[in-house]
């Protein structure tokens, strides 16, 4: 199982000191986060994509990932998310393949629609077409990474005639794709159709909602013939803040919770920690709470934590990463491994995907989605929407 961090790169005023970090500080601090995550043995570092303040998450995450590849040794570099709706799929195919080469395969990506309405018209898109954009753009991206001399005619971009994206994916194997969504079953359906991973953000919603989304994805994964429901590739998010005692953690984090724009004044800290996966307490409490996710998610492959939000000082963020890497994750790895059901697959890596390709026959095309004639939920197939 993979454990790591994800960040949206918000630039938020520290409510205790009143200081707002500069964009330069926040960008450089994010690099330091990734480096420390690698040093303490975390598996994944994921960065968001934003085009608007108050975020410094890169408009083109592939650039940032390529830089991080030169600063780290082992950690997988991912996104959280790549905007499949407002970023041209030709650009995604080329940029992330290039980053994949520079990182020697330590790259995958999470696709998402984005939740900032004004961004769509900046790129000539309509937010009301968010789902159809995500479906069509990924169909093209999937094709570009697996075929050469591609001819394409769709609704949302100019046609392609005999186009080959360059560079080609490393070792002929595209980066693994996670489809990220908080509330859209259509995206879970898309992930299942292609046999890709599904990442549920699992931050602002109660466990029942996360269970419903993941269960739907698992059922559709099996429906499309990719394996058993329990073989589906699932990732979830989580938020945490840790101190040596529960009371100290709550006392320190409370002003950040109360003033953070992302929480929107939605109840007290105690209510939020009771009703959502936010865990504020000791490392032992974070371990216990995270192990409990399996009770309603089932065995899953990737757990990412958000630790750098709400204006927390950089020193506090680095302390959280240190605790995750040295105390929390080692225990989670041991316990998750013990409790894991037989036959549940690992999270895909570049090496495992290359090996699977070789086992299927050197140079053999990667098997595509295996869809029945009609989707028994919507009446159409994913690629027809």
As a dihedral over the C-alpha atoms of residue 291, residue 293, residue 295, residue 300, rounded to 10 degrees, the angle is: -90
Residue 163 to residues 87, 108, 153, 258, Cα–Cα distance (Å) = 18, 23, 12, 51
Location of structure tokens 């159809």: 132
Q: How far apart are CA 124 and CA 63, in angstroms?
A: 23
* Residue environment code for 260-297, b if the CB has 16+ CB neighbours within 10 A, otherwise e: beebeeeeebeebbeebbbbbbbbebbbebbeebbeeb
Cβ atoms of 248 and 241 closer than 8 Å: no
Return per-residue pLDDT of the chain as tens, 385 residues. Answer: 999 999 989 999 999 999 999 999 999 999 999 999 999 999 999 998 888 888 888 889 999 999 999 999 999 999 998 999 999 999 999 999 999 999 999 999 999 887 677 887 888 888 888 899 999 999 999 999 999 999 999 999 999 999 999 999 999 999 999 999 888 899 999 999 999 999 998 887 889 999 999 999 999 999 999 999 999 999 999 999 999 999 999 999 999 999 887 776 778 999 999 989 999 999 999 999 999 999 999 999 999 999 998 999 999 999 999 999 999 999 999 999 999 999 999 999 999 999 999 998 755 445 455 444 445 544 445 545 4
- Comparing CA positions, the residue from 295, 135, 287 lying closest to residue 210 is 295
E-only strand ranges, 94-204: 109-112, 150-152, 160-163, 177-181, 197-200
Assigned CATH topology for domain 2-384: TIM Barrel (3.20.20)
Tokens of 279: 């865990």
Domain boundaries, the chain: 2-384
Q: How far apart are CA 82 and CA 59, in angstroms?
A: 9
């Amino acid at each position: 199982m993979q454990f790591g961090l994800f960040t949206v790169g918000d630039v938020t005023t520290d409510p205790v000191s009143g200081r707002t970090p500069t964009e330069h500080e926040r960008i450089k601090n994010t690099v330091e986060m990734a480096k420390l995550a690698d040093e303490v043995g975390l598996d994944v570092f994921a960065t968001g994509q934003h085009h608007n303040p108050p975020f410094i998450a890169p408009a083109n995450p592939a650039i940032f990932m390529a830089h991080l590849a030169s600063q780290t040794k082992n950690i997988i570099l991912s996104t959280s998310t790549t905007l499949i709706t407002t970023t041209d799929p030709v650009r995604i195919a080329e940029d992330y393949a290039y980053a994949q080469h520079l990182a020697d395969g330590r790259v995958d990506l999470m696709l998402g629609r984005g939740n900032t309405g004004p961004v769509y018209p900046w790129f000539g898109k309509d937010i009301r077409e968010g789902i159809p954009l995500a479906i069509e753009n990924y169909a093209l991206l999937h094709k570009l990474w697996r075929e050469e001399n591609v001819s394409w005619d769709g609704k949302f971009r100019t046609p392609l005639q005999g186009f080959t994206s360059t560079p080609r994916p490393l070792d002929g194997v595209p980066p693994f794709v996670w489809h990220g969504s908080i509330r859209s079953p259509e995206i879970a359906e898309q992930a299942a159709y292609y046999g890709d991973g599904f990442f549920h953000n699992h931050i602002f919603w109660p466990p029942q909602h996360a269970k419903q989304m993941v269960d739907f994805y698992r059922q559709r994964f099996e429906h499309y013939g990719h394996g058993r429901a329990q073989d589906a590739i699932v990732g979830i998010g989580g938020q945490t803040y840790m101190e040596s005692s529960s009371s100290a953690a709550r006392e320190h984090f409370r002003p950040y919770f109360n003033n953070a724009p992302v929480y929107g004044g939605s109840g007290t800290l105690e209510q939020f920690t009771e009703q959502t996966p936010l865990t504020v307490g000791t490392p032992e409490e974070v371990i216990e709470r995270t192990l409990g996710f399996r009770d309603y998610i089932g065995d899953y492959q990737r757990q990412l934590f958000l630790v750098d939000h709400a204006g927390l000082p950089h020193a506090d963020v680095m302390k959280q990463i240190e605790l995750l890497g040295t105390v929390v994750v080692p225990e989670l790895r041991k316990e998750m491994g013990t409790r894991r059901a037989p036959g549940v697959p690992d999270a895909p890596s570049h090496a495992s995907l290359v090996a699977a390709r070789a086992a299927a026959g050197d140079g053999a095309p990667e098997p595509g989605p295996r869809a029945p004639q009609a989707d028994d939920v919507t009446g159409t197939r994913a690629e027809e929407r």
